[in-house]
Amino acid sequence: MAKQISQLSRPTIGDFLYHSIKEEGITDVFGVPGDYNFALLDKLEQYEGLTFINARNELNAGYAADAYARLKGMAALITTFGVGELSTANAIAGANSENVPIIHIVGAPDSSLQKSRKFVHHTLMDGDFQVFRRMFEEISAYSAVLTQENAAFEIKTAIQIAKEKKKPVYLMIADDEVMDELMPREAEWTDTSTEEKLLQNALAHAETLLKTSRKTILLADSKAKSFQLESSMEQLAQRMNIPISCMVYGKGAIDEAHPNYIGVYAGSFGSQDVRKAVEEADCVIAVGLVWADTNTASFTSELNPQKTIEIQPDFVKIGEAEYRLVKADDMLKGLMDIGIKQVDSIPQYTFPYDKKVEIREEELLVAKAYYPLLQQFIKEEDIVLAETGTFFYGMSQAKLKRGVSYIAQGGWQSIGYALPATFGACIANPERRVLLFTGDGSVQLTVQEISSMLRHDCKPIIFILNNGDYTIEKYLNTETDYQAYNEIPNWSYTDLPAAFGGETYCEVVETIGQLQGALKKAEEEVRNKLCLIELVVKEDMDAPDYMKRLRKQKIEE
């Protein structure tokens, strides 16, 4: 089945591009200006309903767009040819790995320069103007060079592919063609809806498993978040009266205030109660599963494929049988209609940071004490971002309140991602409180985006864990005792916002009592200003239990 695309009346390519982006609910476009994207930015400034969000560098702009897309469904990013676009490559590859749709728009040299293969700046001085596009083909779901003749087709096609695959796409346009009048051309694409017969076969197979299962559990993972399956999963669990767990990557795919939620499944590193519930279930309904090392606690997670109904965005697998062309949402709704309901009540487990720990206020900061305090600090409807490293694993075990959005780059794990991603989250949802949990090493990669936050009146609460090292790297490297390369310089982190020219609340804390006081103060100050709390931890190898178990396993290997 072909879908028809309505066209604007005699628009320019730039008009049509921005109209198409705006139709997807995008209101902000991230990027950095460069001389080959001036026409794009001039047109953008004139376009009602879209705002250009200027980041401090292209990598950070890409990270910010990534978080924006996770919260709003899609994002747009504008860079200049060569130097600008290549700076975003890490962010775009991460979005590809993590199933995040970003429309990456590249302003290129004038068409006459390209046709004559002139040697111009920002090129490899070989006359090849397609080399960078070819590079991005490997990390994008689709790429195209826009022209007057094809722009109407290519823009809509790229956006549709980004929506369906939840991946970044790449569009390049010569600077002198942005204002060219568009030639109408309708875009068509194949309808990829569910094949009804295959769906019924998959449901029949699933029903045979579910009818004999006394202990069924739903396990949510990261692709369930990317493809917006949260509501369907929660409805299914409610109707079947079954417990819900999530993988580490999938944290936030389930509202953790849901009465059926029992915690994160993290193999031998996480809750052993949850591990037992998942691995001893008669049937596991696994949605959007990504079977990766850091998602399965170094592959210590174990699911029996013969007892698993694996539901992916566009196929279902049960045992050895695979049912292609079956959409996840249709499968979940079909399972609801089967009408099977579990008799046993949902188990109630104690979450890792709910356990009471006797700590004195004057005691120095240690993980077993500050993680419960940070969990308590998170409010309903907050946006929480956890950086790659210590906080990625530590915050994965926190119990979140109703309506909290959780963002972490689980699979790609690029250090420095979360700070500019926090900027993107603030732009996407300015009315919500945004909390960043990051480390000193990560901050030193992308700290410039605090300047962007202040410029755009963003008011996140930033927690920086200062332990003087890349602690996560020291945990992962068990081959040597001393690793000079994992030590980092000690910055005055609370002085940084002043250098960026903004009014902020900043505090350095070293004890439990000081942290409690800073948290109370930040709750008041965040109404009017950005807040930054530096947690100084004296013991560089202090870490949450999850990481201690990870290191123990690596030593034993």
Kindly give the interhelix angle for 196-211 and 328-338, rounded to the nearest 10 degrees.
Answer: 50
Question: In 3D, which of 27, 105, 40, 30 has the Cα closest to residue 73?
Answer: 27
Q: Do 296 and 377 sit in the same domain of this protein?
A: no
When pLDDT is cut at 50, 70 and 90, the band that residue 44 belongs to is very high
Residue 100's pLDDT is what?
Answer: 98
Residue 3 lies in a domain: no
Residue 367 lies in a domain: yes
Residue 172 lies in a domain: yes
Mean pLDDT of all residues in 497-517? 94
* pLDDT, tens digit, 9 for 90 and up, residues 67-106: 999 999 999 999 999 999 999 999 999 999 999 999 999 9
Question: What is the radius of gyration, based on Cα positions, of the chain?
Answer: 25
Residue 9's pLDDT is what?
Answer: 64
User: Is the predicted pLDDT of residue 2 greater than 70, yes or no?
Assistant: no
Q: From 177, 209, 226, give the residue that closes a domain.
A: 177
Q: How far apart, in whole angstroms, are the C-alpha atoms of residue 322 and residue 317?
A: 4
Residue 40 lies in a domain: yes
Q: How far apart, in whole angstroms, are the C-alpha atoms of residue 548 and residue 264?
A: 17
Question: In 3D, which of 221, 227, 209, 229 has the Cα closest to residue 305?
Answer: 209
Domain at 389, CATH number:
3.40.50.970
pTM for the full predicted model: 0.95
Residue 539's pLDDT is what?
Answer: 84
* pLDDT, tens digit, 9 for 90 and up, residues 233-268: 999 999 999 999 999 999 999 999 999 999 999 999
* pLDDT, tens digit, 9 for 90 and up, residues 336-353: 999 999 988 999 999 999
As beta bridge partners, residue 217 has 284
Q: Do 332 and 381 sit in the same domain of this protein?
A: no
Q: How far is CA 144 from CA 137, 171, 355, 465, in A?
A: 9, 5, 54, 42
Q: From 119, 142, 177, give the residue that closes a domain.
A: 177
- The bridge status of strand 315-318 relative to strand 321-324 is antiparallel
When pLDDT is cut at 50, 70 and 90, the band that residue 360 belongs to is confident
Number of domains comprising the chain? 3
Retrieve residue 435's tokens.
């909390």
Q: Do 167 and 211 sit in the same domain of this protein?
A: no
Q: What stretch of H or E contains 163?
A: helix 151-165
Which residues, in sequence order, are CB contacts of 161 under 8 Å at separation 6+?
141, 142, 167, 169, 189
Retrieve residue 546's tokens.
């999850």
* pLDDT, tens digit, 9 for 90 and up, residues 182-241: 998 877 767 689 999 999 999 999 999 999 999 999 999 999 999 999 999 999 999 999
Q: Do 321 and 225 sit in the same domain of this protein?
A: yes
Question: In 3D, which of 349, 390, 95, 387 has the Cα closest to residue 226?
Answer: 95
Residue 358's pLDDT is what?
Answer: 79
Question: In 3D, which of 162, 141, 225 has the Cα closest to residue 409?
Answer: 225
Residue 536 lies in a domain: yes
Q: Do 300 and 370 sit in the same domain of this protein?
A: no
Q: Do 471 and 508 sit in the same domain of this protein?
A: yes
Mean residue pLDDT across the chain: 94
Retrieve residue 166's tokens.
């939840």
Domain holding 124, by residue range, is 13-177
Retrieve residue 437's tokens.
């949990």
* pLDDT, tens digit, 9 for 90 and up, residues 99-149: 999 999 999 999 999 999 999 999 999 999 999 999 999 999 999 999 999
* % residues pLDDT > 70 (the chain): 98
* Residue 329 φ/ψ, nearest 5 degrees: -65, -35
Q: Please answer whether residues 135 and 106 qualify as being in contact, where contact means their C-beta atoms are separated by less than 8 angstroms.
A: no
Q: From 338, 362, 387, give the residue that closes a domain.
A: 338
Mean pLDDT of all residues in 451-470? 94
Which residues, in sequence order, are CB contacts of 228 under 8 Å at separation 6+?
73
SS3 string, 324-347, reads ECCCHHHHHHHHHHHCCCCCCCCC
Residue 546's pLDDT is what?
Answer: 85
Q: How far apart, in whole angstroms, are the C-alpha atoms of residue 462 and residue 44?
A: 31
Domain at 296, CATH number:
3.40.50.1220
Q: Do 144 and 209 sit in the same domain of this protein?
A: no
Residue 190 lies in a domain: no
Residue 148 lies in a domain: yes
Q: Do 441 and 296 sit in the same domain of this protein?
A: no
Q: Do 527 and 549 sit in the same domain of this protein?
A: yes
Q: Do 124 and 203 sit in the same domain of this protein?
A: no
Q: How far apart, in whole angstroms, are the C-alpha atoms of residue 460 and residue 434?
A: 5
Residue 557 vs residue 482, higher pLDDT:
482
- The bridge status of strand 51-54 relative to strand 28-31 is parallel
Instruction: Choose the weakest-confidence range: 2-6, 202-206, 272-276, 289-293.
Output: 2-6
Q: How far apart, in whole angstroms, are the C-alpha atoms of residue 440 and residue 418?
A: 12
Which residues, in sequence order, are CB contacts of 341 under 8 Å at separation 6+?
239, 240, 241
Instruction: Choose the weakest-confidence range: 146-160, 242-256, 383-397, 539-553.
Output: 539-553
* pLDDT, tens digit, 9 for 90 and up, residues 5-26: 344 468 999 999 999 999 999 9
Residue 1's pLDDT is what?
Answer: 30
Q: How far apart, in whole angstroms, are the C-alpha atoms of residue 397 and residue 270?
A: 8
Residue 556's pLDDT is what?
Answer: 72
Q: Do 364 and 509 sit in the same domain of this protein?
A: yes
Residue 549's pLDDT is what?
Answer: 86
